[in-house]
Structure 1
Amino acid sequence: MSPDEQRAALVAALAETGALNADWAPSFTAVPRHAFLPDTFWADESGGDTECSRSSEPERWMGLAYCDVPIVTQWDDGGGGPRIFPTSSASMPTLVAEMLSDLDARPGQRVLEIGTGTGYNAALLAHRLGNDMVSTIEVDPQVTAQARSALLGAGYTPEVVCGDGSLGWKAQAPYDRVISTVSLRLIPPTWVEQTRPGGVIVSPVSPLFGSGAVVRLTVNDDGTSASGRFTRSSAFMLLRGQRYRGEPVEKYLPGEWPGDSAQSWTKIDPEASIGDDWLAQFACALALPDVYCRRAEFGEGWTWWFFDTAVTSWATVDSVPGKSRFDVRQSGPRRLWDEVEAAYDQWVAAGRPGYERYGLTVTPTGQTAWLDEPDNPVSR
């Protein structure tokens, strides 16, 4: 098939699943995704990122450009050496379409996009709303230049800015809509300030503990806060300024494990109950925004480590296949596993709610996650 035919097939598939609505279908039909992809990229095939070069595999390259898969376009912030962390990408078309549907941007509305990436999403916005109504900001100078070139080559000229997306872009504020294509732990109050009352902010949120989901916030009438529900699961790269690198274990545990920890037992296997369930992770993450975890191999299973960001407390749980109870060690003023277990039990008792029952309220002083209604916070 020709690229046009492949693009038409992708659009038809997205429409059939309900991901792509009628408002956005013309833009997906008109904007060539392949025009925003580099000659070499890494596509998510069979659970792994496989390299593909247009010069050596042109048919496969074009086919992947119009598959419903995410494509990595940069590793390790563009540094050389072995590829470790993906740091820029073309998002999965299904998620692109769903997030634009969440955004509900309409002609006549001004939009700010955080995280230009390849420029493809900005082109979709520019096609529907007009070039003059779209600003997009990208922190990486090289990625910015490539996106600007790709946009121009495809015939689109939205405002492309190289800068820190967490600050928004005051020059064109206020916006009717703000959309982020990078994930955050904390939604910046600046985005709320730069959005009109009644305006909408759509962003992936990736809590420190794990998992992630897209939130759709509406700015209140006086423009000081925004609140709304999560709409769907997501997995995006974090905004660079909100990446978190935990302290080494030695900062928490001087000397040999188990140190001064207290021993107890739990019937909850963190590997099976939390590690294998994104919703459970998400519920625990919202309840414990200052707790993060790591896993380390332990015999036939795993040891789960839990830490607080204040570097005061830690806990471990040994997940061993076939066991009915699991060894717990906890140290510090907080009993972190007890807190995780309580958050998990709270989620189970609520009927294992999905993403759509959770919401977020953002104010000038921070953010609060809630279940069902804003007056029912889940933070512990």
Structure 2
Amino acid sequence: MALAVREEWSALGHSLQESGAMSPEWMPSFLAVPRSAFLPEVFWPFDMDTGKVMEVDRRTAPEDWESFASADMPLVTQWDDGEGHGPGKMPTSSASMPTVVFRMLGDLDVQHGHRVLEIGTGTGWNAALLTHRLGPDRVVTIEIDSNVAAAARDRLAAADLLGTVLTRDGALGDPAGAPYDRIIATAGLRQIPGAWLEQVRRQGVIVAPWGTHFGNEDAIVRLTVGPEGASGPFTRAAEFMKVRAQRLAFDGHSAYVPDGVGGASRSTTEVTEAELLGSGRFEARTFALGLRVPDCHCTVADKRDGARPVWFFGLTDRSWACVMFRDGRPTTVWQSGDRELWHEVTAALRWWQDAGEPGYDRFGLTVTKDGAQHAWLDTPENSWPV
């Protein structure tokens, strides 16, 4: 690295360490394995506040490229599973922001001699950090996209950090290489694969972004594997691209409401916009609603002319609800279908409020060997199916 870039990267490392995002034992790997060595010539920095992206090409804007490569922000590296070469419908591979990477590595708590299975190779940077720390014979990484896997393999080899890179569905894990001490996933999940539980040693750890289809957000869960399955707390909010087999299957608004809201039941509500949505991008209340209202997807529209509709769609039938918030006017609710989704949502909201408005870290997840998942509040004994 050039001196200026090296200094910028080092400054980021010290900032991560001072904030507590990165523990001191990761600093040597951070300095030895810069993210820039694992990025393509073109990427798209993602603005977490606005949700917008911009294209940065190393060949035409090398200084901008280096600056973004050393910044604490996520960088999109693929769109639409590689079918397009620019911003498309959906980002499908990325380089995560360093803060998230090192907080997850902290949750993983690797020790000398551990063997780690990574699900979602992506650029290869996370695998490179683990390999630098543990050694190439201690890290196996899996990537479902053959082109992404090939590029990561080349970058790892160029950095002299090439371990084993497998091209397959990560949900299957690596039975031939099991047992592992740790599994870390770098793609969002809605179901923890049972194969992973079988491939981790007793008292081993699984760290993964997990969430419900209520929204696109995830929370990092740290599961400890036991004789009957795995259980553990959520640590913090996050948002990852979802594993391909577990992406949201949603037929779209028109499949639910082809003729408008005229035929639906209509009422009003005292629930306020702030009470339902909060004020930030990651809201524990939204996470709680997803845990308490199963098989439901929520979309929040932009506010226009003082009005904002929030929609709820049942994922197992065609039930739907819409709440329309209007500045200075009563809030209207429409519902249709076998499920009264707005009533389910308000009951879940009251439950969260009555529980003291718990944050992410008061929730946890238990996964049994047969694949059943239960969320819990404070202790696994206080659980319900999800």
Category of TM-score, reference length = shorter chain: over 0.9
- In the alignment, what sits opposite 1:371? 377
- In the alignment, what sits opposite 1:315? 321
Report the AA paired with residue 273 of structure 1: L
TM-score normalised per structure 1: 0.94
Q: How does 1:32-47 map to 2 (within 5 A)?
A: 32-45=34-47, 47=50
- Picking from 246, 249, 258, the partner of 2:250 is 246
- 1:3 equivalent in alignment to 2:5: yes
CA deviation after TM superposition for structure 1 residue 251, in Å: 4.0
- Picking from 8, 13, 16, the partner of 1:14 is 16
- Picking from 264, 274, 288, the partner of 2:267 is 264
- Counterpart CA distance in 2 for 1:270 and 1:294 is 14
- The Cα offsets for residues 265-300 of structure 1, whole Å up to 9 and x where unpaired, read as 211135662264521110101112311122446763
- Picking from 59, 62, 65, the partner of 2:69 is 65
- Counterpart CA distance in 1 for 2:98 and 2:252 is 38
Unpaired runs of 5+ residues, structure 1, are none
Q: How does 1:68-83 map to 2 (within 5 A)?
A: 68-80=72-84, 83=88
Distance 1:272 1:28, change over 3 A: same
Q: How does 1:270-281 map to 2 (within 5 A)?
A: 270=273, 273-274=276-277, 276-277=279-280, 278-281=283-286
* Structure 1 vs Structure 2 CA RMSD: 1.9
- 1:300 equivalent in alignment to 2:332: no
Distance 1:359 1:311, change over 3 A: same
Report the AA paired with residue 195 of structure 1: V
- 1:163 equivalent in alignment to 2:168: yes
- The Cα offsets for residues 142-201 of structure 1, whole Å up to 9 and x where unpaired, read as 110110000001111111011101111112111110000001111111111111110000
Q: How does 1:281-296 map to 2 (within 5 A)?
A: 281-296=286-301
- Counterpart CA distance in 2 for 1:111 and 1:326 is 51
- The Cα offsets for residues 300-326 of structure 1, whole Å up to 9 and x where unpaired, read as 322222111111421111121233x41
- In the alignment, what sits opposite 2:230? 226
Native 8 Å contact 1:206 1:238 kept in 2 = no
- Counterpart CA distance in 1 for 2:260 and 2:277 is 27
Report the AA paired with residue 269 of structure 2: T
> Between Structure 1 and Structure 2, how many residues are aligned?
376
Report the AA paired with residue 235 of structure 1: E
Native 8 Å contact 1:252 1:311 kept in 2 = no
- In the alignment, what sits opposite 1:27? 29
TM-score normalised per structure 2: 0.92
Return 37-46 or 183-192, whichever deviates more.
Answer: 37-46
Runs of 4 or more above 6 Å deviation: none
- Counterpart CA distance in 2 for 1:255 and 1:75 is 33
Native 8 Å contact 2:140 2:164 kept in 1 = yes
CA deviation after TM superposition for structure 1 residue 9, in Å: 1.4
